[in-house]
Amino acid sequence: MKQVIVLLGPTGVGKTALSIDLATYYNSPIISADSRQFFKGLTIGTAAPTADQLTRVPHHLVGMLEVEDYYSASEFERDALSIIADLHQTHDVVVVSGGSMMYIDALCNGIDDVPTIDDELRKEVYAQYEREGLEAIQAQLKMLDPVFYDQVDLKNYKRVIHALEVCLMTGKPYSSFRTNTKKHRPFNIVKVGLMREREELYSRINQRVDEMMAQGLLDEAKLFFDRRHLNSLNTVGYKELFKYLEGEWTLDFAIEKIKQNTRIYSRKQMTWFKRDKEINWINLSEVTTEEAQIKVISLL
């Protein structure tokens, strides 16, 4: 049976280096499962593959969208499965790498068949969100789908808004579409999780933010400042620098907030991933990248 290696883990752990080594070993392109790397122009802030890395190994689903575009986990599932099917015609092993939890779940387990949201309705709901705030969206969701209202993280505005969109689009509760049925895949999935000791990971994150600033992250943020309201730009690295550009924060404070929020996000990633008992964990604080590669190869 054909194989798919899904390399996952928190931001800054070292997925890029190992994924390129594995892809080179198997002569496989890489499919990105990093939702921030889907968008063009967000190169530095998302630690997107460099030009040299892209030359060494072809990457799919990197820089394919404009920042104005909408892209969901269900669309990622569709596109990733299509790419894998094509690649498996000529490759026995395909490498997927990223840290976006819902997108990885969508690929590995499938996502519920939720109706596609009309663009006009989406614009209306987001306009309501901008005009009235999250509490108004929460209240409407509570009225239309009290079951999901009690389950969802109410601070996660993306999920709250999406659930309300489905309710308004279909006239049915969003919870009625959530079956959580695992879908069959015509290939074997090997999940490999990368981790490091917390202090080492945090140090790597802090260093990477400093490197991003040196590479020109502030200039990159300036390019998108007039579009800072877009969902694709409501992400760590950019939203903090927008606060600086708006005059609300000093630059030093914004940089420290990027580091802090990235560390917080890494903890959320690990909490999510540790629920999955199918993941084979490798601690990069204990082994080299070369040793980790040998371990992954032995799992197939």
Both 238 and 254 in one domain: the answer is yes
Among 177, 193, 224, residue at a domain's last position: 177
Strands (DSSP E) found in the chain: 3-8, 30-32, 59-60, 93-97, 188-195, 280-283
From first to last of its 300 residues, the chain has per-residue pLDDT tens of 999 999 999 999 999 999 999 999 999 999 999 999 999 999 999 999 999 999 999 999 999 999 999 888 889 999 999 999 999 999 999 999 999 998 999 999 998 777 878 889 999 999 999 999 999 999 999 999 999 999 888 888 888 999 999 999 999 999 888 777 889 999 999 999 999 999 999 999 999 999 999 999 999 999 999 999 888 999 999 999 999 999 999 999 999 999 999 999 999 999 999 999 999 999 999 999 999 999 999 999
Phi-psi region of 110 (alpha: psi -120 to 50; beta: other; left: phi over 0): left
User: How many distinct structural domains can be found in the chain?
Assistant: 2
Q: Do 297 and 25 contact (CB within 8 A), yes or no?
A: yes
Kindly state whether residues 20 and 99 are assigned to the same domain. Answer: yes
Query: Cα separation of 280 and 209, whole Å?
Result: 28
> Which of 177, 196, 213 is the C-terminal boundary of a domain?
177
Domain identity same for 164 and 290: no
CATH number of the domain enclosing 168: 1.10.20.140
- Looking at the fold, whether 125 and 103 belong to one and the same domain comes out as no
Question: For the whole model, what pTM was predicted?
Answer: 0.85
Domain range enclosing 129? 119-177
Domain CATH code at residue 211:
3.40.50.300
